[in-house]
Amino acid sequence: MMCSINEENLAEETMVATPKLSVTDAICRRCNILKAQVLLRKTDPYCRDCFMKYAVHKFRSTIGKAHALKHNEHVLLAYSGGLSSGSMVKLIKEGLDFSESKKIKMVFKPTLVHIDEGLILNLSKHERKETTDFVLEQAKKNGFDVYICSLEYCLAPDLNDLKLEMNSYQIEPSIYESQLEMLFGSVKSLTAKEDLLIRLKQRLITLLATRLNHAKVFLGPNATRLAGQLLSAIGQGRGAQIAHEIGFTDSRTGTVFLRPMREFVDKEVAYLANFLGVDSVCLPTLSSKLGSTASIGRLTEDFVVTLQTNFPATISTLFRISDKLKSNIADLNPSDCERDSLCLLCLSAIEESSVCSASTARHISQTFSRSGPSGHPSDDLRTHPLQSVGTVRHQDSTSCSSNCNSQGKPCCKTSNDQIKSDWSAVLCYGCRITMEDVKQPELMPINYLEELGLRSRRQVMRQSVEQFLL
Amino acid sequence: MVVFCSTGCGSTAVLKRPKTDDALCKNCFFWAFETEVHHTITSTKMFQPGQLVAIGASGGKDSTVLAYVLKHLNEKYNYGLKLVLLSIDEGITGYRDDSLESVKRNQEEYNIPLTVLSYKDLYGWTMDDIVKQVGRKNNCTFCGVFRRQALDRGAVLLKCDIIATGHNADDVAETILMNLLRGDIARLQRCTFHITGSDGSLPRVKPFKYAYEKEIVLYAYFKKLDYFATECVYAPDAYRGHARALVKDLEALRSTSIIDIIHAGEQLAIKDGVKLPKQGLCSSCGYVSSNIICKACVLLEGLNRGRPKLAIGKSNKALAELLAERLQNAASIKTTIQDQF
């Protein structure tokens, strides 16, 4: 084997594990008076008061520096019942109550929103009720209003008919229940399931925000989660969307999603929750009780957590670099960007694939290993040595191999492939991978299917007049 | 149960393609692998007819298969290229000796001329000597920095136009993750380029950029190509090992992950207003460098002065020290000259 050092990338300053600090009787590094109660980044001891000052300042500056909120604006807080979003709610509550004259009070009007995901997690009605009761109780404790909605409504075209009650929730049977179960049941891999859940949940929260007339939503993921999601996004080909998926603001859906907890690592959230007296419920996820290689999301999150314990700069390094990144696709204003060029599922701009790119390489590998040499006569290539082989189109419907030359009958692949290729034309690279694993895409929300049909027809129109377009 | 080749050629499949999970027969796999490399070469316009190409040959699987495939494609599609093998002998007993034997066999079998350049020739030090000086903790820094320049210098000596290396898709994916974890934004962007280093140094290309490591091994296995598989006797970079393990785990979960990571890497761009280190030329040796003096020269100077650890870690400090000394020297020369006149 070749040397494992890649000369192109040699570490100028190789990551070094920080030496352990002896913490017995350490004094707070900030006030230099009190005995430290917490240790951050393995080297910085803080006392309780100084830690809270530091945390509150960080929270407020994360929100403040983005200038994302208007005075007295209504904001939805997505509250799962977990530690991270629980701490977010509590920090906001304290920020609103804050009366020390020197400091500026936080001025916006929060309402909580909770998505009941119990259905796809196979929880019993009783277990679901326990969680939602907890959410209702927490909202009451903090003096905020709360709306709870069940996940299956993500399949509804809109929420106009939904009975949405403030501060109360009943699990009621709905027409979307079995559709959602079947949709998730048809997904081949856990990775795709988790990605689909992210997309559909974002859709549901957007629908809720629209129905409740809120333009902004706070989400609760912390730095550790987001660092894992960053690597997970890279692992699923979502390079162009890093800024949206990890950054403070995500405005792809029209509703603005903000992540005020993004600068706290797991450990800081735990301290915060402890000092603030935050109650939480233990929330199962799709990958609960499964090993660390259950899905890409789970794998990368465990990877980050393990690496962080040995190299405490891991998460902050990932954050620093992701804040410097943007999409390669020209920054288009969503309003003047043609809807056709946005991904149906995640509403990101669809990447253009050049002849020499990974997405083309992926596509031709699949075409080549299904069509073989006879499908692509090599003479074609020989005529232009060292010249481009020609644009490879993604919409190419791969013709079926000689395996199914049954005359008269429709080819075995075409009907199914037709749906597949229609989807692939309206999705970004990342969502395309996810949808490849969804075996019954016809169960997706009806608006998606309508838009899909519309775009396919437009595509046909465009092709027929292509030669006249300048 | 007999599985037929998924291309429908009628032959029995002998392998499952790591990249797409399709079952293929030997010939269809060869064809697919070669045609994909051909596509990478032609679509990126990697080579121009008449060029002299130096193939960085380590004796390992990647460079052995690269030499074989490049020769084959060059003949099949009339690229009009002249190929030479270029090996760097780092001077590591028990590692390089054996793999150099394998490169020499490649030379005979493929009939491609071979040149071996050693660190000893280029820098006056073998890796074994360097390890004696610096110990086994930071030696990889020396080896990596020196190797990058050594290939370049060797290719210039041989009057080559371009260098082709055997870096495969796994390497590229690993490098993307590595640069993310290390926060190295400039390299994160550069590492997905098709052609690198064309400014000041020779251009470098990776024809296997989209080829999976496992497919390279399968190709070598079925073509019965001989290569030398061994780990370097000196410990490899532990941190890179994490990125490598992650790539392998991701690939196990979803076979297209490697190419998906590269796609993600290709889609990344740097926000406006983010400062990047400027690339210039080393004032000492003329090689591309982001500092006034390149890393190799600083490392070498440290070695020659008996202070090998000078440039490990904070290179700016070492650089400042070197520059101060040079200024002093220049000043003293100036006074001597003034004295004389």
Helix (H) or strand (E) holding A362: helix A358-375
Note whether B264 contacts A236, CB cutoff 8 Å.
Answer: yes
Asked if pLDDT for residue A13 goes beyond 50, the answer is no
8 Å CB contact between B208 and B168: yes
Interface subset of A 130-189, CB within 8 angstroms of B: 189
Over residues B8-33, the mean pLDDT reads: 90
pLDDT for residue B297 = 84
Say how many CA atoms lie within 13 Å of A193 toward its Cβ: 19
| Co-location of B169 and B295 in the same domain | no
Q: How far apart are CA A413 and CA A458, in angstroms?
A: 24
Give B256→chain A minimum CA distance, Å: 8
Instruction: State pLDDT tens for residues A268-284.
Output: 999 999 988 888 888 88
Asked whether residue A72 is assigned to any structural domain, the reply reads yes
Note whether B148 contacts A8, CB cutoff 8 Å.
Answer: yes
| Co-location of B147 and B243 in the same domain | yes
pLDDT for residue B37 = 95
Note whether B7 contacts A369, CB cutoff 8 Å.
Answer: yes
Give the CATH number for residue B74. Answer: 3.40.50.620
pLDDT for residue A329 = 67
Q: How far apart are CA B101 and CA B96, in angstroms?
A: 9
| Co-location of B150 and B132 in the same domain | yes
Asked if pLDDT for residue A395 goes beyond 50, the answer is no
Q: State the distance between the two ends of chain A, measured CA to CA, in whole angstroms.
A: 53
Asked whether residue A374 is assigned to any structural domain, the reply reads no
pLDDT for residue A412 = 43
Q: How far apart are CA A358 and CA B48, in angstroms?
A: 22
pLDDT for residue B310 = 66
Q: A117: domain range?
A: 48-329
Q: B320: domain range?
A: 278-341
Collect all residues of chain B within an 8 Å Cβ-Cβ radius of residue A8. 148, 167, 175, 187, 190-191, 196
Residue A402 banded pLDDT, cuts 50, 70, 90 = very low
Asked whether residue B45 is assigned to any structural domain, the reply reads yes
Q: How many CB pairs under 8 A join A and B?
A: 289
8 Å CB contact between A299 and B173: no
Q: Would the pTM of this model clear 0.80, i.e. be above it?
A: yes
Asked whether residue A346 is assigned to any structural domain, the reply reads no
Asked whether residue B289 is assigned to any structural domain, the reply reads yes
Higher pLDDT, B211 or A330: B211
Q: How far apart are CA A74 and CA A273, in angstroms?
A: 25
Collect all residues of chain B within an 8 Å Cβ-Cβ radius of residue A433. 254, 256, 260
Asked if pLDDT for residue A392 goes beyond 70, the answer is no
Collect all residues of chain B within an 8 Å Cβ-Cβ radius of residue A2. 58, 60-63, 166
Q: Is A295 on the interface with B (CB under 8 A)?
A: yes
| Co-location of B211 and B284 in the same domain | no
Residue A247 banded pLDDT, cuts 50, 70, 90 = confident
Lowest-pLDDT choice from A87-96, A359-368, B125-134, B332-341:
B332-341
Of the partner residues B210, B242, B272, the one whose CB lies closest to the CB of residue A361: B210
Identify the three-state secondary structure at position B163: strand
Which of A329, A369, A387 has the highest number of chain B CBs within 10 A, making it the mutation to test binding with B? A369
Asked whether residue B330 is assigned to any structural domain, the reply reads yes
Instruction: State pLDDT tens for residues B128-187.
Output: 888 888 877 777 778 888 887 888 888 988 999 999 999 999 999 999 999 999 888 888
8 Å CB contact between B67 and B99: no
pLDDT for residue A253 = 84
Domain boundary among B245, B269, B293: B269
- Nearby residues of B1 by Cβ (< 8 Å), 6 or more positions away: none
Highest mean pLDDT: which of A240-244, A382-386, B71-75, B93-97? B71-75
Over residues B217-240, the mean pLDDT reads: 79
Number of domains in chain B: 2
Asked if pLDDT for residue A187 goes beyond 50, the answer is yes
Asked if pLDDT for residue A384 goes beyond 50, the answer is no
| Co-location of B191 and B328 in the same domain | no
Average pLDDT of the residues of chain B:
85
Strands (DSSP E) found in chain B: 15-16, 23-24, 52-56, 82-89, 114-118, 162-164, 195-196, 204-205, 268-270, 280-281, 288-289
Helices (H) and strands (E) in chain B, counts: 13, 11
Give the CATH number for residue A316. Answer: 3.40.50.620
Over residues B232-251, the mean pLDDT reads: 81
Number of domains in chain A: 1
| Token digits of residue B25 | 């027969």
Asked if pLDDT for residue B32 goes beyond 90, the answer is yes
Over residues A256-276, the mean pLDDT reads: 90
Q: Is B39 on the interface with A (CB under 8 A)?
A: yes
The string of DSSP letters for A376-416 reads: S-HHHHHTSTTS---PPPTT-PPPP-GGG--SSSPPTTHHH
Over residues A232-259, the mean pLDDT reads: 89
Instruction: State pLDDT tens for residues B306-327.
Output: 777 666 655 566 667 777 777 7
Of the partner residues A9, A299, A329, the one whose CB lies closest to the CB of residue B179: A9
| Co-location of B192 and B341 in the same domain | no
Residue B25 banded pLDDT, cuts 50, 70, 90 = very high
- Binding-site residues of B for ATP, in ranges, read 56-58, 62, 88, 166, 171
Residue A467 banded pLDDT, cuts 50, 70, 90 = confident
Handedness of CA A401, A403, A406, A411 (dihedral sign): negative
Which of B268, B293, B309, B314 has the highest number of chain A CBs within 10 A, making it the mutation to test binding with A? B268
User: What ipTM did this prediction achieve?
Assistant: 0.84
What residue has token string 């390279």? B216
Domain boundary among B243, B269, B295: B269
| Co-location of B169 and B255 in the same domain | yes
| Token digits of residue B210 | 């989209």
- Binding-site residues of B, in ranges, read 56-58, 62, 88, 166, 171
pLDDT for residue A353 = 73
| Co-location of B97 and B143 in the same domain | yes
Instruction: State pLDDT tens for residues B85-125.
Output: 999 888 888 777 778 888 888 888 889 999 999 988 888 88
Lowest-pLDDT choice from A128-137, B178-187, B220-229, B231-240:
B231-240
pLDDT for residue B200 = 66
Residue B300 banded pLDDT, cuts 50, 70, 90 = confident
Among A191, A292, A288, residue whose Cα is nearest residue A238: A191
Identify the three-state secondary structure at position A73: strand
Give B327→chain A minimum CA distance, Å: 25
Higher pLDDT, B292 or A271: A271
Collect all residues of chain B within an 8 Å Cβ-Cβ radius of residue A370. 6-7, 22
pLDDT for residue A287 = 83
Domain boundary among B231, B246, B269: B269
Over residues A294-299, the mean pLDDT reads: 92
Among A184, A172, A186, A215, residue whose Cα is nearest residue A76: A215
| Co-location of B207 and B64 in the same domain | yes
Give B329→chain A minimum CA distance, Å: 28
Highest mean pLDDT: which of A172-176, B60-64, B256-260? B256-260
Asked if pLDDT for residue A399 goes beyond 50, the answer is no
Asked whether residue A455 is assigned to any structural domain, the reply reads no
Note whether B175 contacts A3, CB cutoff 8 Å.
Answer: no
Q: Which residue of A has its CA nearest to B189?
A: A325
